[in-house]
């Protein structure tokens, strides 16, 4: 298709991808690049970024070169395009020399429209000399936020991509990312050498995702309850901070009868690859991972993303939660968050390498993340504010569904801070939250007796709150900067300059009632997804039965072709087929997500299933 000038972007969208019209700013972005201009595109995960460079590469003469950091996913990305009838290839270290030479010959002959490369390969002199001989139609720089040295996914190889504009100045460039604050946007433009790029900023809002943050009590039990109650049989991602917790959590979920797999950088490459492949290809698998997993994952039917540890920044959190609900159907972003998370993150920053400026920036990122956790406002509204987008309350996050109310925590804060002052002044001692709470509750534990803390004037003055409530108070004071984690390596706490106005009665301390008074109480839920697939939520009983038959056919077809199930058809398309029950190929072709190649490959088999017959997976696809 590449190099056929009479093709219009809308022709390609309809015929190849099976969609009737562009969304949002897609058309303006594509027109800009097709016309030879540079572009910086900020669009949320699932917003259709890939079409913004795929279609120009297919319309403009030559080969579109896509710079992607995701070697492990290039094969799946190319397979998905080939399944649509797009001529695509990749060059990376997973190929033999003969395979690489074949792809290079195809690119030189104009036989492919899209060529995927990692930034490391593009930095090689041999690769640059090869591209000098190729007619390049467009350079697409995916995950462009990786160029930001202060971002959450920094890749030093991205800093060298400014060579694209210097060496091939006539080739339009498009840089794309799902997460970038205004400061990160400026850094992308500067470091990639895109001074003339037109910036397109789509809404960061993902209204189909319901955001929930709960007090961390028994996190694994809470996670299992979430899955059982709302996402039984759904695909999901669970993020943990450490490799040890990833493996322990995955094993625990398996014991609970949940199909779960671990993923982290410490696993052998073969295990990571196999687990990633199974997550992408099978239905209902839960991946438990560190943040090493997820970038570039195109699986559209991830119904939930859970965090068992506090993310380091709102940018990272937004990108990770954005992997849920890429198909636009209802999804959940859930987090369990507690005092230990705050202490751990503060201490990690204190002990991290880097300059004082770097640590200060990490602290600012964490402060923003803590503000999201402790907010009384709509969580979605606060996140959108962070990215510079004004919005209204969403009605689909926990603070909207079950609004928290502030309570005056000034006296509680004064009691805690007074205890810390007395320990420091009278005993030259600092302790962690546990010992401070024991003192406030009047508990004569062995440690209290050992240190004679029962003799303090503040011993037993905090019995109006229970332990979990005091832990919530400590957590919120840490988040507000009224407490700090000391640098002694023992998780002890210390007061800050901001503490003294509170002690003197010059500053009030509003706290969240839900985190203190109602911790552990039942929460009103937004409407949960239907078990099995959110796409089937509004189907009749008969249509749902057809939908499940179509999914079974899809699973067999994808397994036989060794491709992810969504590459055949996503759930949303299968649901539309079940609802509309097309009787002819022409009728099937009108359904969103059914392009010409998929109609040719799978059309007869799909119609057989719709008519109630058994479609043979080995009869599709046709080449």
Q: What angle do CA 462, 465, 466 make, to 5 degrees?
A: 110
CB atoms within 10 A of CB 145: 26
Instruction: Output the domain CATH number for residue 47.
Output: 3.40.50.300
Same domain for 237 and 146, yes or no, is no
Q: Are strands 406-408 and 510-512 parallel, antiparallel or unpaired?
A: antiparallel
Residues 16, 129, single domain; the answer is: yes
Q: Are residues 418 and 370 in the same domain?
A: no
CATH number where 582 lies: 1.10.150.80
Phi then psi for 451, rounded to 5 degrees? -95, 0
Cβ neighbours of 158 (radius 10 Å): 25
Of the candidates 204, 212, 210, which has an alpha carbon nearest to the alpha carbon of residue 404? 212
List phi, psi (to 5°) of 573: -70, -40
Over residues 277-320, the pLDDT tens digits come to 899 888 899 999 998 787 777 889 999 999 999 999 998 899 89
Query: Residue 249's closest CA among 265, 236, 237, 262?
Result: 262
**Is a pLDDT exceeding 70 seen at residue 455?**
yes
Question: Residues near 551 by Cβ (< 8 Å), separated by ≥ 6?
Answer: 283, 533, 565, 571, 574
Q: How many CB atoms within 10 Å of residue 449?
A: 10
**Count of CB atoms situated within 10 Å of the CB of 195:** 9
Would you list the DSSP string of 459-486? TTTTTTS-HHHHHHHHHHHHHTTSEEE-
Give the pLDDT of residue 613. Answer: 59
* Residue span of the structural domain in which 152 resides: 9-201
Indicate the helix (H) or strand (E) that contains 431: none
The answer on 106 and 18 residing in a single domain is yes
Contacts of the segment 359-362: beta carbons below 8 A, 24+ positions apart: 361/150, 362/312
Q: Give mean pLDDT, residues 131-140.
A: 97
- Does the residue 525 lie in any domain? no
pLDDT tens, position by position, 23-74? 999 999 999 999 999 999 999 887 889 999 999 999 999 999 999 988 878 8
Q: Which residues contact 178 (CB under 8 A, 6 or more apart)?
A: 42, 43, 44, 45, 47, 49, 145, 318, 319, 322
pLDDT score of 521: 36
**Residue-averaged pLDDT of the chain:** 89
Q: Is the pLDDT of residue 184 over 90?
A: no
Structure confidence at residue 538 (pLDDT) = 79
Q: Backbone dihedral region of 46: left (phi > 0), alpha (psi from -120 to 50 degrees) or beta?
A: left
Question: Tell me, what CATH number does 484's domain have?
Answer: 1.10.10.10
The reply to whether 1 falls in a domain is no
- CA 445, 412, 308, 371 dihedral sign is negative
174 shares a domain with 308? no
Dump pLDDT digits (tens) for 333-377: 999 998 889 888 888 888 888 788 888 888 888 999 999 999 989
Q: Report cis status (omega within 30 of 0) of the bond before 621.
A: yes
Half-sphere exposure of 246 (CA within 13 A, CB side): 21
Last residue of a domain, one of 369, 401, 433: 401
Are residues 480 and 559 located together in one domain of the fold?
no
- Say yes or no: 117 and 62 in one domain: yes
Calpha distance 302→279 (Å, rounded): 10
pLDDT at 530 exceeding the cut of 90: no
Alpha carbon distance 534, 358 (integer Å): 42
Decide if pLDDT at 533 tops 90: no
Residue that is last in its domain, among 516, 548, 575? 516
DSSP string, 552-603: HHHHHHHHHHTS-HHHH--HHHHHHHHHH---SHHHHHTSTT--HHHHHHHH
Q: Are both 117 and 231 inside the same structural domain?
A: no
Q: What is the pLDDT of residues 224-276, one digit of tens each?
A: 999 999 999 999 999 999 999 999 999 999 999 999 999 999 999 899 989 99
* Mean pLDDT within 134-156: 85
**Per-residue model confidence as pLDDT tens digits over 392-442:** 999 999 999 988 878 999 999 999 999 999 999 999 999 999 999 999 999
Percent of the chain with pLDDT over 70: 92
Q: Does residue 331 share a domain with residue 255? A: yes
pLDDT of residue 350: 81
- Tell me the pLDDT tens digit for each residue of 68-109: 988 878 888 899 999 999 999 999 988 999 999 999 999 999
Mark whether 196 and 255 lie in a shared domain. no
Strand spans (E) along 314-449:
331-337, 406-408
Distance of CA 127 to the CA centre of its chain: 31
pLDDT category at 10 given cuts 50, 70, 90 is very high
Same domain, 284 and 419: no
H or E element, residue 200:
strand 198-201
Give the number of other CB atoms < 10 A from CB of residue 71: 16
Tell me which of 201, 233, 267 is where a domain ends. 201
What is residue 71's predicted lDDT score, i.e. its pLDDT?
Answer: 82
Q: How far apart are CA 535 and CA 163, in angstroms?
A: 44
The dihedrals phi and psi of 23, each to the nearest 5 degrees, come to: -110, 140
Helices (H) and strands (E) in the chain, counts: 28, 17
pLDDT at 614 over 70: no
Judge contact between 419 and 436, C-beta under 8 A: yes
Contact between residue 389 and residue 42 where contact means Cβ atoms under 8 Å apart = no
Tell me: do 587 and 467 sit in the same domain: no
pLDDT tens digits for range 547-603: 999 999 998 999 888 888 889 999 989 999 999 999 999 999 999 999 999 999 999
């Amino acid at each position: 298709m590449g190099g056929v000038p009479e093709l219009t972007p809308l022709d390609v969208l309809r015929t190849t991808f099976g969609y009737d019209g562009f969304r949002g700013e897609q058309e303006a972005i594509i027109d800009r690049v097709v016309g030879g201009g540079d572009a910086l595109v900020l669009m949320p995960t699932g917003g259709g970024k890939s079409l913004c460079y795929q279609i120009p590469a297919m319309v403009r003469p030559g080969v579109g070169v896509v710079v992607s950091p995701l070697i492990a996913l290039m094969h799946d990305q190319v397979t998905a395009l080939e399944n649509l009838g797009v001529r695509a290839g990749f060059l990376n270290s997973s190929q033999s020399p003969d395979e690489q030479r074949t792809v290079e010959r195809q690119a030189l002959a104009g036989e492919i429209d899209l060529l995927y490369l990692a930034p490391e390969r593009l930095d090689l002199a041999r690769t640059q000399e090869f591209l000098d001989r190729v007619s390049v139609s467009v350079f697409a720089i995916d995950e462009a936020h990786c160029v930001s040295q202060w971002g959450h996914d920094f890749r030093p190889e991205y800093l060298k991509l400014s060579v694209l504009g210097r060496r091939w100045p006539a080739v339009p460039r498009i840089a794309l990312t799902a997460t970038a604050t205004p400061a990160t946007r400026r850094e992308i433009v500067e470091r990639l050498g895109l001074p003339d790029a037109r910036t397109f900023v789509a809404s960061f809002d993902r209204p189909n995702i319901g955001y929930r943050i709960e007090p961390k009590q028994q996190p694994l039990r809470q996670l299992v309850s979430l899955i059982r109650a709302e996402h039984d049989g759904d695909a999901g991602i669970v993020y943990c901070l450490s490799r040890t917790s990833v493996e322990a959590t995955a094993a625990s979920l398996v014991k609970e009868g949940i199909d779960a797999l671990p993923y982290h950088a410490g696993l052998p490459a073969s295990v990571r690859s196999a687990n990633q492949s199974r997550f992408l290809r099978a239905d209902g698998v839960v991946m438990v991972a560190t943040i090493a997993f997820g970038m570039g994952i195109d699986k559209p039917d991830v119904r939930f993303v859970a965090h068992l540890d506090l993310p380091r920044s709102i940018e990272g959190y937004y990108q990770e939660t954005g992997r849920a609900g890429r198909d636009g159907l209802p999804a959940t972003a859930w987090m369990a968050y507690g005092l230990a998370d705050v202490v751990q993150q503060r201490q990690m920053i204190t002990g991290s390498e880097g300059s004082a400026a770097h640590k200060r920036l990490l602290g600012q990122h964490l402060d923003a993340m803590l503000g999201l956790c402790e907010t009384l406002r709509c969580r979605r509204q606060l996140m959108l504010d962070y990215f510079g987008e004004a919005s209204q309350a969403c009605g689909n996050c926990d603070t909207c569904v079950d609004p928290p109310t502030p309570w005056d925590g000034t006296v509680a804060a004064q009691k805690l801070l007074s205890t810390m002052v007395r320990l420091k002044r009278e005993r030259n001692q600092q302790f962690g939250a546990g010992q401070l709470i024991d003192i406030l509750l009047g508990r004569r534990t062995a440690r209290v007796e050992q240190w004679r803390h029962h003799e303090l004037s503040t011993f037993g003055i905090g019995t109006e709150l229970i332990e979990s409530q005091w832990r919530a108070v400590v957590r919120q004071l840490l988040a507000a900067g009224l407490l700090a984690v000391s640098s002694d390596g023992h998780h002890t706490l210390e007061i800050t300059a901001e503490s003294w106005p509170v002690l003197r009665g010059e500053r009030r301390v509003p706290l969240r009632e839900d985190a203190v008074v109602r911790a552990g109480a039942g929460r009103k839920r937004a409407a949960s997804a239907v078990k099995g697939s959110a796409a089937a939520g509004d189907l009749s009983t008969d249509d749902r039965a057809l939908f499940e038959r179509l999914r079974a056919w899809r699973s067999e077809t994808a397994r036989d072709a060794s491709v992810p199930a969504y590459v055949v058809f996503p759930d949303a398309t299968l649901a539309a087929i079940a609802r509309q029950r097309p009787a002819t190929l022409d009728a099937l072709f009108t359904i969103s997500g059914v392009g010409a190649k998929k109609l040719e490959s799978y059309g007869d088999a799909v119609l057989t299933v719709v008519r109630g017959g058994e479609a043979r997976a080995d009869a599709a696809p046709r080449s």
